[in-house]
Structure 1
Amino acid sequence: MAHDECEVQGLHPEAVERVGAKMPAEETIIRLADIFKALADPTRARILYALSLEELCVCDLAALTGMSASAVSHQLRLLRAGRLVRYRREGKMAFYCLDDEHVRHLLQEGLCHACE
């Protein structure tokens, strides 16, 4: 038997009840998993980090990532769908930034954990 498994079967009903009462709705859990899926791609993580420092246009992000503007736009569409980034238009330019401070905090915590 593996050392990371219980050696006997035993249920702790009180603990299960306490935790179960605090579990978010299934749709919230799915949304959380989708956020982490979006963050799991190194290119998207790089884009998000850059946007945590400054608002940038697609061309700026393409230069930073070494990708084509079209490829960056595709990644930004995925990040927008996940409500991780938003954009504003200024003439013919589209400038991107993080959707809100929650995304910045999530990135900061992830980086701190990655550097430990």
Structure 2
Amino acid sequence: MADPNRLRILSLLANTELCVGDLALALGMSDSAVSHQLKTLRALRLVSYRKHGRHVFYQLLDRHVFDLYRTVSEHLNE
């Protein structure tokens, strides 16, 4: 959670599931940089994924992850 890019990814995934390319475009990052951050988020069990053809779609793992994201976001805004 210490990396601001991971928080930005969680912020986007709090609204909808997205593929790596869509996340990279929204964040102004390369696909490989986003994939690297998603690998970390998967290892932390904060996001899950599903494959559809050649695309991999990511989403928050569950409601608890969204609550965690919201709490962190609120504290950062204070």
Fold shared by both chains (TM-score > 0.5): yes
Q: In the aligned structure 1, how far is the partner of 2:74 from the partner of 2:7?
A: 14
Identify the residue that residue 112 of structure 1 maps to in structure 2.
74
For 1:89-100, list aligned pairs within 5 A: 89-100=51-62
Task: Choose from 17, 21, 29 the match for 1:59.
Answer: 21
Could you tell me how far 1:114 is from its partner in structure 2? 2.1
- 1:43-87 per-position Cα deviation (integer Å, ceiling 9, x unaligned): 011001100111000000000111111111111001101101010
Unaligned runs of 5+ in 2: none
Structure with more of its chain in strand, by fraction: 2
Identity percentage over the alignment? 55
Taking structure 1 as the reference length, the TM-score comes to: 0.65
Q: In the aligned structure 1, how far is the partner of 2:60 from the partner of 2:21?
A: 17
For 1:1-116, list aligned pairs within 5 A: 39-116=1-78
> In angstroms, what is the RMSD of aligned CA positions?
0.8
Could you tell me how far 1:112 is from its partner in structure 2? 1.7
Please identify the structure whose Cα radius of gyration is greater.
Answer: 1
Unaligned runs of 5+ in 1: 1-38
Q: In the aligned structure 1, how far is the partner of 2:77 from the partner of 2:37?
A: 25
Code of the residue aligned with 2:75 in structure 1: it is H
State the secondary structure of the residue aligned to 2:29: coil
Taking structure 2 as the reference length, the TM-score comes to: 0.94
Moved over 3 A (4+): none
Q: In the aligned structure 2, how far is the partner of 1:72 from the partner of 1:113?
A: 24
